[in-house]
Amino acid sequence: MQTAKEGTAATQSVGMGQIALLTPPGSANAVLGSCVALVLHDERTKLAAVAHVVLPASNCRPGTPGKFADTAVAWMLDELMKKGADKRYIVAKLVGGANMFASNGPFQIGQQNAEALRKHLQDAKVRIAAENIGGTQGRRITFDPSSGRLNVEVAGQSVLCL
């Protein structure tokens, strides 16, 4: 199973459970429902990673690091620092976690994903610079590490820049 996509290709699509490691001028996009995109960005070196997190906790289940909030944060920080990122300059952005079917049960997973990511980021002492979480609509995001701009599209609305 593919753990991470890497490179400077024009735009990488980050699927469920995947992580993209970005070096400018490469960018990444993802389409999100209840999953949450975690962007970690070193504002000084412009190195970045984007994860498409599916579930809040691995609980010893198999899967790529990007699938779970706990494994994603640790893996992304480790890889970014191996590439020369400085943790002091890394900031996080969180997008997604919708509840599109407005019901209980597994459809509430989006909020749990976001809460788990906030906790693991806090434990790792990474500042959350921006969030766009929850609601009842899906999102399409594009992240450009050279500018740090995270564009969020919601169907029928104008593009939001975080």
Partner 1 sequence: MNSCETNSLTATPWANLFEPATRSASDAISRWTRRRMELTLAEVRELTLDELGGELPDRAGPSTIVTVAIAGDLSGQMILLFDDTQARYLAETLLNRKHEETESWHELELSALQETGNVFGSAFLNAIASLTGQKFLLPSPPTVMQEFAASVIEQAVMLQLTESDNVLYCRTGMLRDGESVDFMALFVPSTELLEQLRQAIHAQLMN
Residues near partner 1, by CB under 8 A: 1-2, 15-18, 31-35, 54-55, 61-64, 67, 98-101, 103, 105-107, 109, 137-140, 155-156
Which H/E stretch holds residue 132?
strand 127-133
Q: Which is nearer to partner 1, 41 or 139 (CB)?
A: 139
Say if residues 116 and 99 touch (Cβ distance below 8 Å): no
Q: Which is nearer to partner 1, 109 or 126 (CB)?
A: 109
Q: Which is nearer to partner 1, 38 or 54 (CB)?
A: 54
The amino acid sitting at 36 is: V
Nearest approach in angstroms of CB 129 to partner 1 is 24
As annotated, the active-site residues are: 35
